[in-house]
Structure 1
Amino acid sequence: MATVRSGNKGVLLVVDMQAGVLNGTWDTARIVGNVSRAVERARTLGVPVIWVQHADEELVRGSPEWQWVHGLAPAKDEPVIEKRFNSSFEQTTLEEELARLGATHIVLGGAASNWCVRATAYAALDRGYDLTLIRDGHTTQTMELDDGMRIEAPRIIDELNAVMTWVRYPGRTSGTATAEQVEFGIPGGKAGSADGEHRDRTSVPGSS
């Protein structure tokens, strides 16, 4: 059973914004700009920023592909969590870092939407954190399946945004907000939402 965390201590978690991960992703420059804006806002507000950096046999530590994408980099005092699996929580020091900061609410952006961002989002909720996904701050590549079917990157992104708006966990809040609108101290969304991103949980499709 998850330990549900009370309070509204937010952190910004930036996942795998690396040159090799972002190679060929959809609308990369705009997404990098939006994540950069979220980082800038977090720093200005004194919200901790945690960076996650992936390495494995294909994304070799120290290689050009492993490096941060141009325009994004941790500040000297910002922690960098190294990982080898999709979830930023698996066999990493992320939980210890979140505990040190007293975090209860994770604001999440990065790449790729359908792999490490999705896995990290579910892992955060499973562990009792509130979650806000930066809806214009994550991206991926178009998928081409073995049968020739293509799942276009924008649709993958839209689907994850929808899921993180509607998914329900007991005692936790999830939602989405843009990089410009996200409120780090308001779990699951942004203040004064008027566009339906932060929804009444009784109206979730299929919940009746």
Structure 2
Amino acid sequence: MTTLTDRPHTALLVIDMQNGVVDGAHERTATTARIAALIERAREERVPVIWVRHSDEDLPRGSDSWEGIPELVRDDAEPLVHKAYGDSFEGTDLDDVLGRAGVGRLVVTGAESDACVRSTIHGAFTRGYDVTLVSDAHTTGDKSAWGAPPPQQVIAHTNLYWGFQAAPGRLAAVVPAADVAFRSA
């Protein structure tokens, strides 16, 4: 139902699953395993897998902290989008990459729930994409020392509010990894 014309396809978006981002993240192992299974399914179904990596002064491009986690291996043929802002569309070629693949619907996974995942799902939605957030395939670190709720509450809240997102001609959804459908029924 996307508002983007001639974009009937779906892509799996893997946001910031990097050493320096998910070190110490909530339920990192289980979340990573679900993302890995989604990547495998997407590849089997010939659904594009798009990888996003953040860089800044704490995550210098090419550093060990910037590198993707070893549990998730990017195929060299899969696009890698480099970003410097929370929204994976901002200042990147992500929209062009998706346009060339005819993608109008995103299935979103990654880190961090309360930062780059949140910014990207909103950025995609306002740009006309249908956005499915995978409820058990995004994570965040513990920022409660700075007044944030505990990670599990941040993740639950992100899932809750995204499930009620609405806009003309676009669909927002929240589904667990086991229920992700890359193709329309």
After TM superposition, the score normalised by the length of structure 1 is 0.84
Amino acid at match of 1:180: A
2:57 maps to 1:57? yes
Q: 1:180 aligned to 173, 178, 181, which one?
A: 178
1:20 touches 1:59 (CA, 8 Å); kept in 2?
Answer: yes
1:84 Cα deviation after fit: 0.4
1:8 Cα deviation after fit: 3.7
Q: Select the structure of larger CA radius of gyration.
A: 1
List per-residue Cα deviations over 1:82-131 (Å, max 9, x = no partner). 00000000000001001100101000000000000000000000000001
The corresponding residue for 1:194 is none
Q: Distance in 2 between matches of 1:72 and 1:152?
A: 26
2:137 touches 2:176 (CA, 8 Å); kept in 1?
Answer: yes
Aligned length: 183
The corresponding residue for 1:26 is 26
Tell me the SS of whatever aligns to 1:168: coil
1:105 touches 1:184 (CA, 8 Å); kept in 2?
Answer: no
Q: Distance in 1 between matches of 2:181 and 2:83?
A: 27
1:145 Cα deviation after fit: 5.3
The corresponding residue for 2:4 is 5
1:29-40 alignment to 2 at 5 Å?
29-40=29-40
Q: Distance in 2 between matches of 1:181 and 1:42?
A: 13
1:11-160 alignment to 2 at 5 Å?
11-144=11-144, 146=146, 149-160=147-158
- Structure 2 residue runs without a partner (length 5+): none
Tell me the SS of whatever aligns to 2:57: coil
- Structure 1 residue runs without a partner (length 5+): 192-208
1:141 Cα deviation after fit: 1.4
List per-residue Cα deviations over 1:32-89 (Å, max 9, x = no partner). 1011011001000010000001111111111111111121021021000000000000
Higher relative contact order (CA 8 A, sep 6+): 2
After TM superposition, the score normalised by the length of structure 2 is 0.94
Q: Distance in 2 between matches of 1:10 and 1:107?
A: 7
How large is the RMSD of aligned CA atoms in angstroms? 1.4
1:150 Cα deviation after fit: 4.7
